[in-house]
Amino acid sequence: MPIETVYKNSHCEWIDVETPELTDLTVLHQRFGIDMLLLEDTIDRDHLPKFEESGNVKFFLMRENTDLERRNLGGVSDISTKLGIFIVNGTIITVHRMRTKSITETLEEISGNADSEALKVDHIALMLALKVMKSFNDECDNLMEVLDKIEGEIFLKNTSDTNQIRRLYRLKRKSGLNTRLLNISGEWVEKFRDLKLKAVEVADLKDKYMDVNSDFDHLNSQVNSLISMFLALSDQKANQVMKVLTQFSVYFLPITFIAGVYGMNFRHMPELASRNGYGLTLGLMGLVVLLIYIYMRRRKW
């Protein structure tokens, strides 16, 4: 998509570049004097969030949570997409690979704002930053719903253990990657203090950042606790199976011994000449099993 002016008033101009190519970056470099190294950071798929300042250019590189890039959960690019924001004098330039909610919702908010003519570049940057934080907040709420559903299935035994552990792994990966992104994002959040904004506006962004960070910390602890609980229940289930097998072994061990004794090929065995020898031996085996059963019941095994 070519370089496009998506909003303009007497105080500022908002230029948006979606899916930039090298020629687009060259135009921005020549027109606004933005360092090419900063512009190249916006097309690096796996670049982490940061803030840089070069001359009169302030550069915020944010990552917004999105469902559209999830594949193997191997890195931050699988759960988020980049949003580069350049502030140059009275112009704000956004560079991104795909149209995200932060861009769309900010434009809708500006169009519905009666005081939009008084907006400046710093206010637009703040609006975008708040939308980025909102994307993480929405994701945290979604993951908490998934966590509650898995927890219910574990205790109600509605799905197989293999399916549950796979979903728990994905949940843990998503939560961990989001937490990593939020921890790194603290740098650019702090740099909003250097913009021409009211202290209460910057504090609002900082509060939202702290709230989302705290929510993901809580989610991480809940996921780890559920994984530990799931493994404990799996061990308990295995122990129950081993207990049943052990009980059967206890029943059959003495009668197997008796059968083994009478299976030996000796010429002189007293019970061989007895007409009731076979029945007496089977009765002895049954009596032994009964005594073991009574003993186990009394010991509550």
* pLDDT tens figures, 189-230: 999 999 989 999 999 999 999 999 999 999 999 999 988 888
Q: Are 62 and 86 in contact (CB under 8 A)?
A: no
pLDDT of residue 39: 94
- How many angstroms separate the Cα of 213 from the Cα of each of 140, 186, 216? 10, 10, 5
247: exposed, middle or buried (Cβ count in 10 Å: 0-12, 13-18, 19+): middle
* Across 73-100, average pLDDT: 90
pLDDT band at 70 (very low <50, low <70, confident <90, very high): low
Q: Architecture of 239-298 per CATH?
A: Up-down Bundle (1.20)
pLDDT of residue 1: 56
pLDDT of residue 296: 79
pLDDT of residue 133: 96
- The one-letter code for the residue type at 52 is E
- Residue with token string 């930053």: 129
Query: How far apart are the C-alpha atoms of 41 and 80, rounded to whole Å?
Result: 15
Q: How many C-beta atoms surround the C-beta of residue 223 within 10 A?
A: 23
Query: How far apart are the C-alpha atoms of 149 and 163, rounded to whole Å?
Result: 13
Q: Do 239-298 and 4-235 have the same topology in CATH? A: no
Sheet hosting strand 57-65, strand order edge to edge: 4-8, 13-18, 91-96, 80-88, 57-65, 50-54
Asked if pLDDT for residue 167 goes beyond 90, the answer is no
> Which carries the bigger pLDDT value, residue 123 or residue 294?
123
Q: Architecture of 4-235 per CATH?
A: 2-Layer Sandwich (3.30)
Q: Give me the chain's average pLDDT, please.
A: 87
Name the H helices within 42-76.
none
Rounded to two decimals, what is the model's pTM?
0.78
- How many angstroms separate the Cα of 5 from the Cα of each of 13, 16, 118, 132, 188? 7, 6, 17, 21, 25
242 contacts: CB under 8 Å, gap ≥ 6: none
- Quick check: helix, strand or coil at residue 95? strand
* Across 92-98, average pLDDT: 93
> Which carries the bigger pLDDT value, residue 237 or residue 24?
24
> Domain spans of the chain?
4-235, 239-298
- How many angstroms separate the Cα of 232 from the Cα of each of 135, 154, 169, 179, 257? 34, 12, 16, 26, 37
pLDDT of residue 71: 59
Query: How far apart are the C-alpha atoms of 36 and 44, rounded to whole Å?
Result: 13
* pLDDT tens figures, 244-296: 788 778 878 888 887 877 777 766 676 666 777 777 778 888 888 888 888 87
What is the pairing mode between strands 50-54 and 57-65? antiparallel
pLDDT of residue 169: 87
